[in-house]
Structure 1
Amino acid sequence: MRATEQSRKIYLEINLEDNRLKVKLGATTMYEFPIVSGKGYTPRELGRGGRFATPRGILRVEKKEVDPVWYPPDWHWTERGLTPPASGRNGVRGHLGKYRLNLGQGYGIHGTTSGRIQPGKYSHGCIRMNATDLETVFKLTDVGTEVFIY
């Protein structure tokens, strides 16, 4: 790919320190939005090696979803002192908002039930956005869009 073609590609840049997402075209910032990112700790009560942190690195949008269905993972139940269901989990519509950009490995950029966020570090690793901000990002990205998280 030539440098001029590369500079015309939209990509996302996520700054975890500032909890900000930028939509960029080359060196130009087209939009900048507040986000919620991962808590960044390992919960003892789950007894697992995973961390509730947003991964750093270069990811890509693997799938774009409208009205995504959320299937609560085991930690959702364990945090509430409940036993996770053995099988046949029912999905929940609306929990992730109207849009989700799936980044793979269980991570994504999505909304909330209320459509609003208070920026900070309190998700389980996904990036949450205000509904109107997410709609803008959703419309500007394609499957394959690069997402730089640092």
Structure 2
Amino acid sequence: MADRRGFFRHGGALAWGLVSAVALTLGVSTVLLANTADVRYRRDVMRMAFNDNLEVLEDVRRQAGLAKDTLEQLLAANPVAGRTQPYIVVSIADHMLWYKSGDSTLYQAPVATGSGKVLEKQGGSWKFETPRGRLVVQSKDTMPAWVPPDWHFVEQATKRGLGLVRLQRGQSVPLGGGAAIAVAGSDVVKRLPDGTTVPLEATDGREIVANGNIVVPPFGTNQRRYKDVLGVARLNLGDGYALHGTNKPETIGQSVSHGCVRLRNEDIQQLYGMVALGTPVYIY
């Protein structure tokens, strides 16, 4: 014990220097290991884009701890990308999108992605998450209208403590005083006692309400087509998913969408002009 005390007393500077050096080396190694893992993961995403290799896709998915998806079906349903074909990569965790060609980034932008929340009401269950895997730009359009699915009205009714009434063609919702809500041609209208009809307005957050219920317009009516919600352009990925703009730019960078990848209008407008139909989209 005396020899040890003497060592640290007489050679203390050297001893503590060695201890500090070892600790510093361990710290640097930890940082390098983390950085190396991140670089390796991003490299694997690049390999995924170049090769369309199912084994690589599954390996990346397992390493990232991602939820199980249907990568086999996605790959089987879409053509293989050539090495020179531009492609899009979306990181759900980073809320970022890159439009790339080889190693070059042609454009990048922040995005909003699915919230991951689950809605269980009215006998239905919906999980609002962005799909992972390989998709393809199937079509694109400008100034798209949003046709809200049934879950939108269920969600709105839940938030506002209202009931739901699904309006069908040939039926009406009585309002009292002889008036009623009905469908006339392509519009949901208020029909007055004298037979006069007045088209009703509806948009996101301002749905048609009657007698304490949200009235769900039938598909094909103007009241089930919301303007401006999807921004100035949309790249459709199939199954109701898309890259699109927004009328709520403050949500970009967050997990708040119902599954689509949401961009600022200036970014989706730029991508609309750059991205061709058939472009692969890799979401991880």
Shorter-chain TM-score tier:
0.7 to 0.9
Rounded to whole Å, the distance in 2 between the matches of 1:114 and 1:73 is 19
1:85 alignment partner AA: P
Identity of aligned residues (%): 36
Rounded to whole Å, the distance in 2 between the matches of 1:129 and 1:97 is 9
Rounded to whole Å, the distance in 2 between the matches of 1:135 and 1:10 is 17
The answer to whether the 8 A contact 2:119-2:127 is kept is yes
The answer to whether the 8 A contact 1:11-1:146 is kept is yes
Q: Per-residue deviation at 1:49? A: 4.1
2:107 alignment partner AA: Y
Residues 99 and 79 of structure 1: CA distance in aligned 2, closer, same or farther (over 3 Å)? same
Write 1 or 2 for the structure with the bigger share of strand: 1
2:227 aligned partner:
93
1:60 alignment partner AA: V
Rounded to whole Å, the distance in 2 between the matches of 1:47 and 1:16 is 29
The answer to whether the 8 A contact 2:99-2:108 is kept is yes
Aligned residues: CA RMSD? 2.0
Task: Describe the superposition over 1:98-131 as per-residue Cα deviations: whole angstroms up to 9, x where unpaired.
Answer: 1000100000011112556431100000011011
1:140 aligned partner:
274
1:68 aligned partner:
144
Picking from 22, 40, 44, the partner of 2:120 is 44
Rounded to whole Å, the distance in 2 between the matches of 1:61 and 1:6 is 15
Secondary structure in 1 matching 2:99: strand
Task: Describe the superposition over 1:70-120 as per-residue Cα deviations: whole angstroms up to 9, x where unpaired.
Answer: 111111111111523344442122211110001000000111125564311
The answer to whether the 8 A contact 1:10-1:140 is kept is no
1:109 aligned partner:
243
Picking from 244, 259, 265, the partner of 1:125 is 259
Count of equivalent residues: 147
Gaps of 5+ in 2: 1-50, 52-80, 158-162, 165-215
Rounded to whole Å, the distance in 2 between the matches of 1:133 and 1:25 is 18
1:20 aligned partner:
96
1:31 alignment partner AA: Y
Which structure would you say has the larger Rg? 2
- Of 50-59 and 39-48, the range deviating more from structure 2: 39-48
Rounded to whole Å, the distance in 1 between the matches of 2:122 and 2:256 is 17
2:110 alignment partner AA: P
TM-score, normalising length from structure 1?
0.88
The answer to whether the 8 A contact 1:64-1:99 is kept is yes
Rounded to whole Å, the distance in 2 between the matches of 1:95 and 1:71 is 10
Gaps of 5+ in 1: none
Rounded to whole Å, the distance in 2 between the matches of 1:129 and 1:6 is 26
Q: Which has the higher contact order (CA 8 A, sep 6+)?
A: 1
The answer to whether the 8 A contact 2:120-2:126 is kept is no
TM-score, normalising length from structure 2?
0.48
Rounded to whole Å, the distance in 1 between the matches of 2:115 and 2:137 is 22
